[in-house]
């Protein structure tokens, strides 16, 4: 989980050292660290606290101390690695949205409003991740896994209808492994069977995120893809 935490939160939260002890001593009562172990421990505390503060991350000190103590003593964490990673991802999404401004914020708001209204339409379904989809045609062939190569036709637009990419317009299907595309595609295509045609409504967090892609897909852009699955496997 450490590498995931580094990537998602950009601080050394995995280095659980003994900066927190089991006494009730507060910061004002603490004595200046003297031994090497004390100074190293205090330095890690400083580093983690500064990075949390710089990124505007608020923490529950009781839970923070509990996690430290559990790991240091070899106990069983109260959250699994997947649950901890999901918490970091959710918090990172909040931080990213808070930092959005100008046209980026306009895209963020427009995407959220579009998806909220879209979800109320007949035939629109949603997954726990926030991916929305509409079944246009349901096939009965093979269903891909997250690492399978698939052959598809797709037509991608922004929520305002602007086409940014389309194999349909090019008149040629395309193939790729599902673990090499945006998360919304990886998740969505696994819902389909060969012969299916779905329309996906993808929030920015499952698309190109806060960075966007190319000239047309701006930061925080929600995307719409109509996808037809022809074949699973090479």
CA distance 63 to 132: 34
Q: Is the pLDDT of residue 28 over 90?
A: no
Among residues of the chain, what percentage have pLDDT more than 90? 52
Active site residue 165: yes
Catalytic residue among 165, 201, 204, 224: 165
Q: Report whether pLDDT(34) > 50.
A: yes
Catalytic residue flag (residue 208): yes
Annotation says 88 is catalytic: no
Q: What length is written for the chain?
A: 234
Please provide the DSSP assignment of 7-27 as one string.
HHH-S-TT---TTS-SS---T
DSSP annotation of 207 reads T
From the list 148, 182, 216, 230, the catalytic residue is 182
Q: Are 141 and 148 in contact (CB under 8 A)?
A: no
Tell me, yes or no, if 201 is annotated catalytic: no
* 15 vs 93, residue with greater confidence: 93
Catalytic member of 198, 208, 217, 224: 208
pTM above 0.75, yes or no: no
Give tens-digit pLDDT for 90-106: 776 666 666 666 778 88
Question: How many other CB atoms sit within 10 Å of the CB of residue 46?
Answer: 11
Say which CATH topology domain 100-232 has.
Chitinase A; domain 3 (3.10.50)
Catalytic-residue membership of 42: no
Per-residue pLDDT at 16: 41
For the chain, give every residue range classified as CATH 3.10.50.40. 100-232
pLDDT one-digit tens code per residue, 111-166: 999 999 999 999 999 999 999 999 999 999 999 999 999 999 999 999 999 999 99
Which residue is catalytic, options 88, 204, 220, 225? Answer: 225
Catalytic residue among 44, 164, 216, 230: 164
Q: Give residue-wise pLDDT tens across range 52-82.
A: 887 777 888 888 888 888 888 889 989 888 8
Calculate the CA dihedral of residues 132, 138, 140, 143 and round it to 10 degrees.
Answer: -20
Among the options 154, 198, 200, 204, which is catalytic? 154
Name the pLDDT band for 167 (thresholds 50, 70, 90).
Answer: very high
Q: What is the pLDDT of residue 195?
A: 97
Q: Is 28 a catalytic residue?
A: no
């Amino acid at each position: 989980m450490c590498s995931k935490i580094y990537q998602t939160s950009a601080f050394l939260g995995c280095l659980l050292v003994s900066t927190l002890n089991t006494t009730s001593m507060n910061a004002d009562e603490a004595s200046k660290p003297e031994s090497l172990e004390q100074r190293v421990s205090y330095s890690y505390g400083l580093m983690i606290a500064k990075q949390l503060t710089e990124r505007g991350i608020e923490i529950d000190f009781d839970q923070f101390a509990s996690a430290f103590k559990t790991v240091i003593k070899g106990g069983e964490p109260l959250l699994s690695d997947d649950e901890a990673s999901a918490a970091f991802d959710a918090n990172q999404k909040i931080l990213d949205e808070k930092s959005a401004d100008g046209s980026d914020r306009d895209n963020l708001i427009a995407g959220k409003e579009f998806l909220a209204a879209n979800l109320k339409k007949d035939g629109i379904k949603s997954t726990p991740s926030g991916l929305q989809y509409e079944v246009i045609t349901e096939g009965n062939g093979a269903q891909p896994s997250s690492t399978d190569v698939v052959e598809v036709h797709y037509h991608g637009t922004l929520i305002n209808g602007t086409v940014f990419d389309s194999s349909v317009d090019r008149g040629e299907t395309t193939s790729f492994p599902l673990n090499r595309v945006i998360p919304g595609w990886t998740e969505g295509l696994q819902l389909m069977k060969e012969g299916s045609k779905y329309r996906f409504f993808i929030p920015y967090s499952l698309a190109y995120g806060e960075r966007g892609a190319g000239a047309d897909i701006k930061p925080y852009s929600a995307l719409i893809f109509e996808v037809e699955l022809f074949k699973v496997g090479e």
